[in-house]
Amino acid sequence: MPAVYFHVRWPDQTESHCYSPSTVISEFFTPDTCYPLLEFLQRANDGLHAASERVRAKFGFACSSAMDQLAKIEKTAQAFDASTAVHVLSID
């Protein structure tokens, strides 16, 4: 299963290199697009759960790395106001 990374820029201009165990994440994010924070969190949640389920379908178990990445995203997002936006820079 091809893993991919999506690169994001947070409202404070820091960047994160985020892991997805499946290319399905590209169905949830468009490169070079800004998302309101809450929408970004929902898309990350939906996309990483979908990626984890792809792993489950192929290997018989969910992907803990996808859930770890989601937890990191959610923790980082706590520092920002809901009125801010997150920029998805690229998906590799």
Cβ contacts of 63 within 8 Å, gap of 6 or more = 21, 51, 52, 55, 56
The rounded distance, in Å, linking the Cα atoms of 67 and 53 is: 11
- The neighbour count for residue 72, using CB atoms within 10 Å, is 14
pTM (2 decimals)? 0.95
One pLDDT digit (tens) per residue for the chain, 92 residues = 689 999 999 999 999 999 999 999 999 999 999 999 999 999 999 999 999 999 999 999 999 999 999 999 999 999 999 999 999 999 99
d(Cα 22, Cα 19) in Å, to the nearest integer?
9
Q: Are 6 and 20 in contact (CB under 8 A)?
A: yes
Burial class (CB in 10 A: 0-12, 13-18, 19+), 1: middle
Q: State residue 2's pLDDT score.
A: 86
